[in-house]
Amino acid sequence: MRRVRFYYDVVCPYSYMESHAVEAAEDAGDVEIEWLPFELRPAPKALLEPRGDHLRVDWTQNVYRRAQSLGIEIHLPRFQPRSTLPLAACLWAGDQGSLRDFKHALYEAFFCEGMDIATDQELARAAERAALDPDQAVAAAYSAERFARIREIRTEAEAAGVAGVPSVETPITTPSTKVFINAETSGLMMNQRGPRIVCW
């Protein structure tokens, strides 16, 4: 079975939408996915303005159209938090074998309910929804060790050519092989052209 890496950020709408296709491919046994957090705007990078022109234009022209084509509910968030804490908690949830449920709880709280998922309250609520211990989830979100791991993953990803999320990195089989998500079939497909990294 082919193993690929999927880089995501829980505050990225495209990560949320495309994760459905990646999960479907994983469930079908087509690929083995290594889910890796990639913080789009680590400190001290400036965060986006929740009602700024950049978000309004992108969501109007791209995000809503993509969501409609996939049949996914999504709304422009009221907040644009830094994702360090949620991603650290995702690493912990992965160790518990519940990353998917925890990640989806965060996505739904952020993109469907308009909540600030970088707060202790929302991290705990996501853990409860995923049948995880809420106190442990909050504690894990502040782990210096997991902060370091997030930075390490980003450094390795950038060295491999990842510039944003969502991104898929395939194993090095041939220099021209890459994996991408086919928008029409919503599945992972192989393409023999182009680099082995692709970003949406």
Least confident of 54-68, 84-98, 138-152, 156-170: 156-170
pLDDT (0 to 100) of residue 76? 97
Q: Exposed/middle/buried for 160, CB within 10 Å: 0-12, 13-18, 19+?
A: middle
Please, are residues 188 and 181 in contact by the beta-carbon 8 Å criterion?
yes
Show the domains of the chain with their CATH numbers.
Answer: 2-199 (3.40.30.10)
Tell me the C-alpha distance between 183 and 43, whole Å: 33
- The pTM (predicted TM-score) of the whole model is 0.88
Token digits of residue 66: 């993509």
Query: Three-state SS string across 101-134, please?
Result: HHHHHHHHHHHHCCCCCCCHHHHHHHHHHCCCCH
The per-residue pLDDT for range 13-46, each reduced to its tens digit, is: 999 999 999 999 999 998 899 999 999 999 999 9
Average pLDDT rounded to a whole number, residues 148-174 = 87
pLDDT digits (tens, 9 = 90+) for 106-123: 999 999 999 999 999 999
